[in-house]
Structure 1
């Protein structure tokens, strides 16, 4: 094995008896591979690529890749023993980006020796660290030692499997060509990372660095985006969060280094709103959303938020939706109710929560009304922006990649999948995209939509094949608690979205957190609802006798099947 723990060559006992010199040959191969690994660790991948250029980089890839297309000598067992034959192994994994390839579980075998030491474990940053108005969204930033996550498990989890899998989501869309503009409203972008997005948005109507607002859009020299924090065109990522998000969406694909982006043809529009501490405010976000929409973005990723509701954010997201732009928004990382957080609770926000590596909802992931679905957000590997990563070991910084956890990193998986849907059909509206993502998701905790998992687990393969697991989009989008002068709940207004092939739907209540019996309190309705008000639940009329209730909307489709959306109501 080499210094990275990769198997270079396996020598059986019989082969060793026949050819003792095979040990030295194998050790020489392992030493050569180890030297290459240690060179990269010592110099860092950027320096390695610059100094050794493509020939050395390709040499490393050739050494590390499985000898899939080589003809190897093997021996048959039994009556054909002793006769050599040619054996062709399986082709290499595509994409061949090292952090993408899933480790193959093999039976343990006795090894002759290991050259070099073990690689450093990678610290995991818990929480997205993005803030608004000085308030942290999610768990405090920090590091703790964890076992290294050696591959992009999240992509495999949602259907972005190697392309030799007929059901791989990548097989149903032309992802390689330059395609959809995706705005990343965040902390900026490191454009120097060798594995960063291949396509960066360019304002063709703006001449660079002439000090003139050529296109008269109010932003002088905004040739590749805008910095609303400092009101200039400096998009340098001093925090690293924006570069990390952009890497998940559009890192270069199948280039033999680093990670694989979900949509390598996406055109990233960096819009900077957050400083090196991850702080921003609603006004910056409001302006950033308008800028992205007005300059051609078709998908927006917003991996930030806070407690509290901003009318500015609501208006901006509503504007994006009206203009046909899909906005994926992180649900938040404090395990609280989405209804109290913005901008995830806003109409026009497709809120995305986090799955852990066990396939369950992360405990930090916010829940409640307007929860869209869940996507992997636990120990997700992506890019380290130059000059960031304070507190990380030097060896990790040199590698150029590390894992983080939080709904911030679930969100770009949904945003990137939305962009691929637009590659398939540029005429899709935000509602079309939401319907496809909802109806193709894998249900998790209940039949239908629920406040903990939304529509369920993102299934990109089913989405890009337009496989609907249900004919109705049904979601409770808001539960508005109305308080009296004593700050006690007086009533609750219920809002929902109902679209698709349905006949009618009703609003029902069940007493207790684990209600088994439900009573109809509103409906039936036969008209589609778009984040529409359905009912007011008066405490003294229908919410008596318990401080916990299950609210649900029950729809009947054209074939007579029932579909549910349900949320827990807590009355203090």
Structure 2
């Protein structure tokens, strides 16, 4: 979408391809996706998945001597693990029950556990309401298949039919379906059974010591993971990156400039710092020029390991594009902390780290997505992240929302810039993405309240990423110095 052509402040991908890079081929750029796993068998992703051609598949030999056996498309740092505790619960387990720290963690855990239990009940109620409203409509219309237009045109309308219609319209407007709510229900139940369950140990099947950064002989090359359905997040993220390359509505990319390296390191729960640090290092050491990190958590006991890995990326000219988070909070210094971050005590630690918030489809005071984190210091720029259509496992597609969708949109733009302007350094690409963005609506509603604020109070740039502008800025000689 393009503000000039469509009146929507999108990334101008179609316009950029049509007017600036049509029929051109850039250099290969590897984008590493550190996530929940990716369905590399999805027909829309097969052509863009990175292949480690120095590794012979399935021969149980580390052919390229990089420390990872049969890593043809990346590495699975989680092995057979799927679900995990939240980091706060893992930290609680390390404290003595009589300690104040344990008691504080327990208070937070019980509060979160109760919230998840209420969420389960709420989703179950919605599923029951779907069944009831569907039955009412079928009974009154006397048919099994119907459209909401038929229901609206039916006369006479009873109170029950009107209630059913209003509820069904609510579902339609919010892109909610029975199958999607069932997925949400499963997620809420996982929150009860795993995330906030102090008796749960998701790491046991991995077989490593997560508190030993030198214990690296773990995981496997199955980058999809043990359950393809659990790779939905990473598959969606990867599809967004691929789609930016040629703006194809089917999300299939024939653009030769991008390959996606898959690093499975994000479980259903909080990720381990060790896995993230090693995944970043793997990406850097195996040729990635961009790393997408669409995840985050509130505690990071080994943040030094992660920061050392980010520094390794910085020294090797690798750009990290990070999702700001979905709490609708200010994450600037002194406010709510989210990891990974490139800031400590108000000081920016790295030049190669871009944090991205999410905007919706409106160009008005509600442009910033209500769920998006923000911050004049710790959020650099915004990108589309609300109701984004992309790939999900089993050859399917779906709409997802989150800063997890905004970050890969930014990563896709960065990949094109690095492909067509390979001499630009990571820090220069970061500046281009920030400087070239579209100015946001002049008075914006903050996700935390009703007060209208200046865009520069929500991000360092006050802008949204735009491919068309970024390509023009990248050609400017001042960025090549």
Compute the TM-score of the two structures, normalised by the length of structure 1: 0.49
1:300 aligns with one of 291, 298, 301: 291
Deviation at 1:201, TM superposition (A): 1.3
Query: Hey, which bits of structure 1, 4+ residues long, moved more than 4 A?
Result: 162-165, 173-178, 251-257, 260-264, 445-449
Could you say which residue in structure 1 is the equivalent of 2:57? 208
State the TM-score, normalized to the length of structure 2: 0.58
Residue number among 359, 365, 372 corresponding to 1:365 in the alignment: 372
Rounded Cα–Cα distance in structure 1 between residues aligned with 2:22 and 2:373: 32
Q: Does 1:283 align with 2:274?
A: yes
C-alpha distance in 2 between matches for 1:460 and 1:373: 13
1:352, distance to aligned residue in structure 2 (A)? 0.3
Distance in 2, matches of 1:262 and 1:318, equals: 33
Give, in angstroms, the shift of residue 371 of structure 1: 1.2
CA deviation map 1:133-173 (0-9, x unaligned)? xxxxxxxxxxxxxxxxxxxx98x71111257854xxxx237
Question: How far apart in 2 are the matches of 1:453 and 1:255?
Answer: 27
Contact 1:353 1:407 in 2 (8 A): yes
Counterpart of 1:250 in structure 2 is 242
CA gap of 1:255–1:411, structure 2 versus 1, over 3 A, is: closer
Q: Mark the CA change 1:332 to 1:164 in structure 2 (over 3 Å): closer, same or farther.
A: closer
What value does the CA root-mean-square deviation take over the aligned residues?
Answer: 3.5
How far has the Cα of 1:435 moved from its partner? 1.5
TM-aligned CA deviation for residue 252 of structure 1: 9.6
CA displacement at 1:285 relative to structure 2: 0.5
Q: CA deviation at 1:442?
A: 2.2
Question: After superposition, where does 1:36-185 map in structure 2 within 5 Å?
Answer: 157-162=10-15, 166=19, 171-172=20-21, 179-185=28-34
1:30-50 deviation per Cα after TM superposition (whole angstroms, max 9, x unaligned): xxxxxxxxxxxxxxxxxxxxx
SS at structure 2 position matched to 1:375: strand
Partner of 2:73: 224
Q: Residues 383-402 of structure 1 correspond to what in structure 2 (within 5 A)?
A: 383-386=391-394, 400-402=396-398
Instruction: Report how many aligned residue pairs link the two structures.
Output: 308
Asked whether 1:439 is paired with 2:435, we answer yes
Which residue of 2 is the match for residue 338 of structure 1? 331
Q: Which has the larger radius of gyration?
A: 1
Aligned partner of 1:32 in structure 2 is: none
Q: 1-side partners of 2:465 and 2:329: how far apart?
A: 21
SS of the aligned residue for 2:307 comes to helix
- Larger strand share, 1 or 2: 1
Partner of 2:386: 378
In the alignment, does 2:48 pair up with 1:199? yes
Structure 1's unaligned 5+ residue stretches are 1-99, 106-152, 387-397, 473-499, 501-572
Greater per-residue helix proportion: 2
In the alignment, the residues of structure 1 paired with residue 437 and residue 12 of structure 2 have an alpha-carbon distance, to the nearest angstrom, of 11
Are the equivalent residues in 2 in contact too, given 1:338–1:366 (CA < 8 A)?
yes
1:531-570 aligned at under 5 Å gives the runs: none
Compare relative contact order (CA 8 Å, sep 6+) and give the higher one, 1 or 2: 2
Does structure 1 retain, via aligned residues, the 8 Å contact 2:11–2:468? yes
